[in-house]
A and B are shown apart, each in its own frame.
Chain A
Amino acid sequence: MTSRGVAARTVAAPLRVSTLAQDGDARRRASTQLVLDGLAIETRGSVRDAVARYEDALKVDANNPLASLALARFEIFAGDPDRGLAYLDRYAALAGGRSDAAAHLAGLRGAALAQLGKRALAAPYLEEARALAPTVWGDGRLDPSELR
């Protein structure tokens, strides 16, 4: 995918979990709130507690795609791209094709591939992510505060 291809699409604002906090039934909302708590905790640097919150979100609602997305982001930037990609696949299967998630999907996949040493494969994904969400993916990373 090149930036020319991206330019032809309608670019949506990149997904933020906080904008989806009221989506779904009560259980989904509680689960999403745990994801938000986790992202806030991770922003403050308590990584282990943050992961526990993401996993708790799965316990409350195992099919909440945002929990998988948060875990995918965490695993990829914590140095376990394989696990991160598995969570990313799960996110994609659960969330479907949200246009606002396209940048994160591409960026996270690119970051994971780069960590796996597949830089040539990673480059177009990262380029796509930068094109879709330059303010977020300009540095090639997705910080917890940017996803929150």
Chain B
Amino acid sequence: MATSRNKRRSGGWLAGLGWPLRGVGIALFLASAALGEITGRQLVQLDRIVRARFEGTLFRVPSRVLSAPLILYPGLDFELIDLRGTLERLGYREASGNSLALGRFSLARGELRIHRRAFEHPSRAEPARLVALQLDGRSIEGIRDLQTKREIGALFLEPEQVGAYYGPDREQRELVRIDDVPQQMVGAVMAVEDQRFYRHIGLDFWRIGGAMAANLRAGSFVQGGSTLTQQLMKNFFLTPDRRLKRKLQEAAMALITEARYEKSAILEAYLNEIYLGQRGSTQIHGIGEAARFYFGKPVRDLSLSECALIAGLIQSPNGLSPHRSPEQAQARRDLVLRLMLQQGKVTQDEFAEATAEPLRVATVTPDLRDARFFLDALRRELPNYYGEENLAAEGLRIYSTLDLRLQRAASRVISEELARLEKQSRFLAPKGGQRLEACLVALRPQTGEVLALVGGRDYAASQFDRCTQARRPAGSLFKAFVYAAALEPASGAPAITLASSLDDSALSIPVWRNVWEPQNFDHQFHGTVPVRLAFEKSYNVAAARLGQVVGIARVREMAQRLGVESPLPNVPSLALGSGDLTPLELARAYATFASGGIRPRVRTFEDVIDARGQTLERQSIEFERVLDSGTAFLMTSLLQGVVDHGTGYGIRAAGVAGPVAGKTGTSDDERDAWFAGFTPEMVVVLWVGFDEPRRLGQAAAQIAVPIWARFVEEASGGNVAGAFPVPGDVAELEIEPATGAIALDGCPDRRPEFFLRGTEPVETCPQWRGSQPMPPQPRDFEPAAPEPPERRRERSDDEPGLLERFRRWLEEG
């Protein structure tokens, strides 16, 4: 035996076997060698996959667009801005008592207390702050910092999310670093999903054994034994099926991952990857996003009970959703808390307090579908290197200029008013599959910020943005450029002053082999009419003739200087708006009037920040003076007249008070209805029409003005604040309206009028005689702006002032 054993030893173990058995042995050996090689290759392959993921881009994070921050300050109408609604949308919860936890507010005895969370912003970052707002009626009377006991001038609230640029998977996540995750969040997840996470090697054999036993007892699959690492592997690389091959791959990858990476890195990846619910068609991934979605706050501010609720969702995010099934969600939350108590992760007191906390989750704010037009416009404004792929993956934060309150109001007004118009007139009713359309863009003229943009009534039906992509005949909106060109003293005296009269009699202008004969809307001619009346009533013939006086080339140049970029035809009818323009460029041009002749650069965003908080882009306010402030003011005054007495009077009739200026526009055959108007701090351009142009059957005064008025009424509360500042180079004089002469004592008819200094009328009413007191001097506005000294030096001596001209007039007899 010993010999034979030795032989077997010397001849190998196969030597002692018979040939059949030896053959089987060889076959087994080769098979196991082959299996080993295949397994080895597969492991190498799996290792490569794991490393590629962990060491490459771990997550695609959609870039999100945030609104402009809300600035609270004394004097602000908090009802108008829907302060409570804003706080709730931002995830602030109402509480009682004076001791407020972070992210809570309370209202008692005319005082609104807010424990505002830390404000993350590239240039406006502020720490958390406990403040009290003293309220009086609808107004904020004062803001006091309760920690420093000091009054503060302005308080910023965090911006709201406007939307995001998703990839095809429509996954939304906010990445968190493991160091920023509260320990109780980690504890809650481990308690319910993998309590031995820090003790296993990727597979928890103890737990697998337990799960197998449970499944055998039940006769079906009732319990899983997956660790967090396995779950992560499944979510990263695999399908959710339960076949053996997939489970083996999952196990192998979990082992590889644990061998290669720290527990903290694996846990961080898991917490960012895990699916936690659905917001419409968007998937909520990771605890950072879930904290925002369910509680409206960053993960670091979550309470114990909130952490437990999120951890409880992992098992079945939609079935246990606190929005849909609050009772099940609460029961699951309490189960997680109980497990934490059993595992010593919380004390009995903490457990009792957390389970006593009622379930309170943030309101689900649906995606602002109509802000999609704005998001598209913003994307077009971003430099080219922010391609769709980068925006969908890089997790940028784009701080936009959008005022969400105005955006919501614009969407609502467009939607409701178009529905009303459709019922009102057969011309406006849907026909041949075409519905009435509209667009509205609102800018802050001094800064060029786009405050609201609605490119059409339904983004889902048509993504075509009529504000930035559609060029339509501007109609009478263009007359503002004609009058501006005529009022501007570009080289010498201006063609008109506001005291001039225009000729509104029949006009024939040869155009090639034809004759152009403009008509007024009422098909009548009005003879000699004051400039104001011609503009307020939008007389076509007077404007066409004025265009000829000034020259179409100069009118074009004025339009382009003010901000029009579309090509303009060099034809007489341009004066009446035959050029096709976009609402956005009209908004910019009218903003130039509103901001005193300074043309702003239109901006949809201020800052672009990368995932690490580094600023990639910053758009500052940019502008250029393109028109003197005096002419801009005269135009503003003319445009105010349109609203106070002319075709825009519907705005006053709708109850909008305060300084408002604007112009109606109706294109040929009533195919486009416009209103472009502004208050001291907002320009709004509204267009209404059909995509395939057809007759609207009414003028802009009936179609566009009421919509514009309603939007501004909702934006301002009906009482527009502020004033249009009168620049120093403008003077006010009393004139006789019929002649434009300076009204002296005894003049029977008079009204005040504005003039650029040096363009005041020289005639008087009644005719001035030397024995009478001197005619009135232009009334200076206090305080008058000084002229820049170089301008004073540049003034030529042959431009006499009013007194000098009177002196010469007297000398000339």
Let me know if B721 is at the binding interface, CB within 8 A. yes
Let me know if B789 is at the binding interface, CB within 8 A. yes
**How many A-B contacts at CB < 8 Å in the complex?**
125
List residues of chain A with CB within 8 A of the CB of B782. Answer: 96
In angstroms, Cα B723 to Cα A32, docked, is 17
Let me know if B629 is at the binding interface, CB within 8 A. yes
Find A98's partner among B152, B622, B625, B783 (CB 8 Å cutoff). Answer: B783
From known contacts A33-B154, A93-B728, A96-B785, infer whether A63 and B124 are also in contact, taking CB-CB under 8 Å. no
From known contacts A96-B785, A106-B789, infer whether A55 and B447 are also in contact, taking CB-CB under 8 Å. yes
In angstroms, Cα B153 to Cα A36, docked, is 10
Interface residues of chain A, those whose CB is within 8 Å of chain B, are: 1, 25-27, 29-34, 36-37, 48-49, 51-53, 55-56, 58-63, 71, 83, 86, 89-90, 92-98, 102, 105-106, 109, 121, 124-125, 128
Let me know if B55 is at the binding interface, CB within 8 A. no
Find A51's partner among B71, B620, B681 (CB 8 Å cutoff). Answer: B620
In angstroms, Cα B782 to Cα A95, docked, is 9
A62 near B446 with CB under 8 A, answer yes
A59 near B447 with CB under 8 A, answer yes
In angstroms, Cα B622 to Cα A94, docked, is 18
Nearest chain B CB to A117 CB, angstrom units: 15
In angstroms, Cα B725 to Cα A122, docked, is 29
Using A52-B123, A55-B621 as known contacts, list a sample of 16 further A-B pairs with CB atoms less than 8 Å apart, ordered by residue number in A.
A26-B74, A30-B74, A52-B124, A59-B68, A62-B446, A62-B595, A62-B681, A63-B680, A63-B725, A89-B598, A96-B728, A97-B783, A98-B783, A102-B786, A105-B786, A109-B789
List residues of chain B with CB within 8 A of the CB of A124. Answer: 789
In angstroms, Cα B152 to Cα A53, docked, is 14
Nearest chain B CB to A135 CB, angstrom units: 22
User: Contact mask B418-451 → A, CB, 8 Å, 1/0?
Assistant: 0000000000000000000000000011110100
Question: Among B618, B623, B785, which residue has the most Cβ atoms of chain A within 10 A?
Answer: B785
A-B contact list, 11 entries, CB within 8 Å: A27-B75, A27-B76, A27-B721, A30-B153, A34-B154, A59-B68, A93-B725, A96-B782, A97-B728, A109-B789, A125-B789
User: Contact mask B710-726 → A, CB, 8 Å, 1/0?
Assistant: 00000000000111010
Let me know if B790 is at the binding interface, CB within 8 A. yes
Find B153's partner among A34, A48, A105 (CB 8 Å cutoff). Answer: A34
Please provide the chain B residues from 44 to 100 with a CB less than 8 Å away from any CB of chain A in the complex: 68, 71, 73-76
B73 near A30 with CB under 8 A, answer yes
Chain A, Cβ-Cβ closest to B69: A56
Let me know if B583 is at the binding interface, CB within 8 A. no
B75 near A62 with CB under 8 A, answer no
Chain A, Cβ-Cβ closest to B449: A59
List residues of chain B with CB within 8 A of the CB of A55. Answer: 447, 620-621
Which secondary structure dominates chain A's binding surface?
A: helix
Chain A, Cβ-Cβ closest to B73: A30
Please provide the chain B residues from 693 to 746 with a CB less than 8 Å away from any CB of chain A in the complex: 721-723, 725, 727-728
User: Contact mask B355-384 → A, CB, 8 Å, 1/0?
Assistant: 000000000000000000000000000000
Let me know if B549 is at the binding interface, CB within 8 A. no
Nearest chain B CB to A93 CB, angstrom units: 5
A56 near B783 with CB under 8 A, answer no
In angstroms, Cα B785 to Cα A105, docked, is 11
B725 near A94 with CB under 8 A, answer yes
List residues of chain B with CB within 8 A of the CB of A26. Answer: 73-76
In angstroms, Cα B789 to Cα A125, docked, is 8
Chain B, Cβ-Cβ closest to A46: B123
In angstroms, Cα B789 to Cα A106, docked, is 8
User: Contact mask B444-464 → A, CB, 8 Å, 1/0?
Assistant: 111101000000000000000
From known contacts A34-B153, A62-B444, infer whether A27 and B73 are also in contact, taking CB-CB under 8 Å. yes
From known contacts A26-B73, A63-B722, infer whether A58 and B621 are also in contact, taking CB-CB under 8 Å. yes
List residues of chain A with CB within 8 A of the CB of B618. Answer: 48
List residues of chain B with CB within 8 A of the CB of A86. Answer: 598, 623-625
A97 near B625 with CB under 8 A, answer no
Nearest chain B CB to A37 CB, angstrom units: 7
Let me know if B596 is at the binding interface, CB within 8 A. yes
